[in-house]
Amino acid sequence: MAKGIFVTATDTGIGKTVISAGLAMAIRSRGIRVGVMKPVATGCFGERERLISADAVYLFEAAENEYAPLTSPIRFRNPVAPSIASVYEQKEVDLDAIRGAFGELQKHYDFIIVEGIGGLLVPIKKNYLVANLIREFALPLVIVSNISLGAINHTLLTVDAALIRGFKIKGIIFNRAPLVNYSLAEMTNPRVIHELTGIPILGVVPEIQELNVERCRFGSLKEVLMERINIDAILNGA
């Protein structure tokens, strides 16, 4: 089994990229060489053969990696599920390229952080979901969830889908918690979800105003995650 984690989420737009980048910086601060990967990226910009994923660049810069092609082997322009983008852009999802990039990263780094696309059941290609890729990589999960109203249902569905497939879950991170004026749902959701699932809560990350993925701005991301996330629990067993 590779040493690392697969970061998934309860939905798209939850903040997987920011959390993955912050974890990379926090783990690197312990002297561990961290490789990062966004195996399939959609919503990219640039020319057809030179598409750029802002998310992948953000991860690459956060981890200070050296092999950009390994970070983002498959890229599409349209911001849709990869299986759909593949059809409309007439470009196949090359699973062997993804597997090869992952294998190469393991040669160069001590700990690998893979950021998924959307949630567990997003189709990468016909009859091949994100969950299938997780099974191939054999990495434990870190689930990123919204903390507000609806988090209980969405998180339990994700946990259930993971456990049914036999995946190991390191824990749950709640993202974008308000700094003030918590709602009752925001105050109670982490505790309730832990009680219902038994899955460890790794921490709660507040809104960090100075963050900007598109402009590759990290602000206090590293310091916040070092303070608020249980990094030891993520590294335990690695």
Contact 41, 54 (CB under 8 A): no
Structure-derived torsion over alpha carbons of residues 168, 38, 59, 170, reported in degrees to the nearest 10 = 0
Three-class DSSP category at 172 = strand
Q: Is 222 a catalytic residue?
A: no
Closest CA to 156 of 170, 140, 172: 172
Q: Are strands 4-9 and 111-115 parallel, antiparallel or unpaired?
A: parallel
Three-class DSSP category at 54 = helix
Alpha helices in the chain (DSSP H): 16-28, 54-63, 68-71, 82-88, 95-108, 130-137, 151-164, 184-197, 221-228, 231-235
The single residue of 3, 16, 38, 222 carrying the catalytic annotation is: 38
Query: What is the set of active-site residues?
Result: 38
